[in-house]
């Protein structure tokens, strides 16, 4: 990758960044250029992607306001990848994700996806370490083992997801019945004609005086 040295102001910015910091600081300027304070040079979005692939910790901030822009930069990388020839997300999946924004389930969905991604990465790492210990750095064997695992994982995950959905449906039905029961008990005794649980008024006998 090619880098350009920064200006005098950039060098000043670099001096304020301690080398002891674990997180690599990248500054974004109004001209949309990204400045890596560790290498004292300008970098591209592709360079940031390389940092992600190398598992390096970094933070992107606005050069003027110090606002954290890391998420927006990562989203830009994902957008470029999705615009390529092998997108990861289908239109249906993206539509479903959009519908969760502002929904009461938004936080739960985000946490669910994050936890499952962490588990997926851990399993992949363990499988790679085991295959490397048995077969060495044979990338073809590693890929074949991962493909076999994913074929099994697909059917297993499908069954797990189906069971999860059935369980969630049952829990929802139980909650709905409980809410209906609580509502019925709450309003029992109030003079609301036709409300469930109400006792119909007694008819007076013809000879009974009012």
**Structural domain boundaries in the chain:** 4-82, 91-167
Is residue 193 helix, strand or coil? coil
Contact between residue 34 and residue 43 where contact means Cβ atoms under 8 Å apart: yes
Q: What pTM does this model have?
A: 0.56
pLDDT single digits (tens) 73-126: 999 999 999 998 788 888 998 898 898 898 888 888 888 888 888 887 887 778
Q: Band of the pLDDT at 67, cuts 50, 70, 90?
A: very high
């Amino acid at each position: 990758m090619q880098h350009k040295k920064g200006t005098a102001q950039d060098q000043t910015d670099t001096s304020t960044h301690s080398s002891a910091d674990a997180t690599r600081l990248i500054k974004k300027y109004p001209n949309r250029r990204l400045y890596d304070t560790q290498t004292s040079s300008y970098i591209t979005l592709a360079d940031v992607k390389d940092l992600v692939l190398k598992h390096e910790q970094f933070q992107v901030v606005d050069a003027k306001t110090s606002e954290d822009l890391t998420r927006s930069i990562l989203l830009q990388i994902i957008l470029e990848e999705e615009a390529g020839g092998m997108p990861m997300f289908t239109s249906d999946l993206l539509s479903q994700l959009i519908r969760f924004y502002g929904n009461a389930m938004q936080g739960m969905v985000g946490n669910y996806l994050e936890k499952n991604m962490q588990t997926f990465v851990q399993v992949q790492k363990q499988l790679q370490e085991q295959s490397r210990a048995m077969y060495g750095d044979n990338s073809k064997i590693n890929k074949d083992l991962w493909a076999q695992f994913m074929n099994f994982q697909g059917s297993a995950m499908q069954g797990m997801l189906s069971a999860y959905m059935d369980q969630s449906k049952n829990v929802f039905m139980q909650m709905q019945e409980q809410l209906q029961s609580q509502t019925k008990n709450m309003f029992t005794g109030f003079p609301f004609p036709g409300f469930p649980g109400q006792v119909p008024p007694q008819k007076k006998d013809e000879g009974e005086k009012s």
